[in-house]
Structure 1
Amino acid sequence: MPIGSSTWKGTWKQGKGTISTERGILVRVPYTYASRFENAAGASPEELLAAAHAGCFNQAMANNFGMIGLEAASIETSIEVDLQFVESRPTIRSVHIETQATVPGITKEQFDSCAERSRTNCSISKLLTCDITLDARLIP
């Protein structure tokens, strides 16, 4: 079971903390209010969520292609997390997925179906309660 951890010292806006993973992929990576909300150096939990979602989505795509007997030559995905303050609280309003893939032998209809299934069924998509939009392009 994956484990992540965080430390924090100080106030919300002036404090600082670290984010780590049990397997050591992230080891005490610093983060602050400024790194999260003001694009300063350091980690952002939402940016880490976006990276995790992109990885999860790509594996879902590969699995969906495999279920119809096909294999991707490449899948490239980026995730944009729309983080806004709503009633003075940070809120993830939506997530937008942009993906492109090269899959020999796939039709546009098959590709679109695989992309949509990945959008709705990858484990991180299933966890999120916000709107998740998708722009999927098949690269010949």
Structure 2
Amino acid sequence: MSIVKSGSATYKPLGKEGKGSISTETGALANQPYGFNTRFKEGKGTNPEELIGAAHASCFTMALSFALSEAGYDDGELNTTARISLDKNDDGYEISQSALTLDASVEGISEDEFDNIAQEAKENCPVSQLLDTKITLEFTLNQ
């Protein structure tokens, strides 16, 4: 059985002068503006890389939370940022990396055990598996 979620986008007119909007089925984003200026300059609105970053950070953080709980750790807090790199190359643009930065507080866990669980969550969260790019993880474990 598949769980299917959706997002939608519109864009007009075509090219750099166009403007668009992005929405999600749940309404978390409703007609959020995007376009050339929000992606390649400092315009107000969102862009695909920012949304991928939010998706990757939330997926990884949830996967790590579940894995830590399964390992017997229920007291803690996880805060993750995913920085998505969009690079220009000879063929156009490519997403070259998702850099996860995690600030974690988990009661009673050793740094080695935390590292093992976090690396596994990084490799196995569904968004990590979807991304065909380099994924890095740096973390600070506060005790």
Structure 2 distance, partners of 1:48, 1:72, is: 29
Gaps of 5+ in 2: none
**Identical columns (%):** 36
* Alignment of 1:101 onto 2:69: no
After TM superposition, what 4+ stretches of structure 1 lie above 6 angstroms from structure 2? Answer: none
Deviations 1:90-119 (A, max 9, x none): 210111000011111111111001110111
Gaps of 5+ in 1: none
Match of 1:127 among 123, 130, 136: 130
Structure 2 distance, partners of 1:87, 1:42, is: 28
Deviations 1:36-80 (A, max 9, x none): 111211111110110111111110111110121112421010010
* Alignment of 1:17 onto 2:9: no
Q: Structure 2 counterpart of 1:40, which letter?
A: G
* Alignment of 1:91 onto 2:88: no
Aligned equivalent of 1:117: 120
Match of 2:29 among 18, 26, 36: 26
Normalising by structure 1, we get a TM-score of 0.95
Root-mean-square deviation over aligned CA pairs: 1.1
Structure 2 distance, partners of 1:52, 1:83, is: 16
Structure 2 distance, partners of 1:11, 1:115, is: 42
